[in-house]
Amino acid sequence: MLITCITHADAREKKKYPFRGLTEQGWQEVNSAAEQFRELMDEETLVIETIVSSPKARCVETAILFAKAVSEFTATSEIQLDANLKAGSIRGKELFNLAKDIQVQHLLVSGHADLARTLPPQNKLISEAVKDGWFTTRPVLFQIEYGAGNSWDKARVVYCLGLVNGEWLNLLQP
């Protein structure tokens, strides 16, 4: 099973906009993430069968824009909302639980920067990439390969990329 995750892109200011959709910069960031995804995938890539998102507008909008931009790899237009993916609620087992509950070949998850807490424990991020369990840049695009029935510590991060100053950088330790 593949789990492709994207953290929301640049969003409107909370104080000014209670409905925090993406900014125009955020739209561009999602399109850039989709281009990265396409470059990393090939014709053998498993089609995204299920999309799950935090219910926050900025994450749902990220999921919609990303799925539309990679529609050649997407077999659904339905987005399931999961309150367990809200910002600040991530404790570490959320992706593992989704993988156990939603048994598909390829799952897309859109969430917040605290998705950093969900990475399998043996995959370490560079120190600048995370602070207090949160990614320090956005968006972040990562993919995990997980074998059904295995423990989460046997899962493998295929890639973990963050958009920093307009460039996609590897966030994994060598």
* Domain extents in the chain: 26-147+158-170
Which 3 state secondary structure label does DSSP give 127?
helix
Q: In the numeric block, which tokens belong to residue 141? A: 């695009």
Cβ contact 58:85 at 8 Å:
no
Identity of the residue numbered 17? Y
CATH number of 26-147+158-170: 3.40.50
Render pLDDT for 114-167 as a digit per residue (tens, 0 to 9): 999 999 988 899 999 999 999 999 999 999 999 988 999 999 999 999 999 999
Nearest to 91 by CA among 110, 112, 105: 112
| Residues 10-63: tens digit of each pLDDT | 999 887 877 889 999 999 999 999 999 999 987 777 899 999 999 999 999 999
Within 13 Å and on the Cβ side, how many CA atoms surround 103?
Answer: 5
Alpha carbons 30 and 174: distance in angstroms, whole number: 26
| 141, 37 Cβ separation under 8 angstroms | yes
Confidence of residue 83 (pLDDT cuts 50, 70, 90): very high
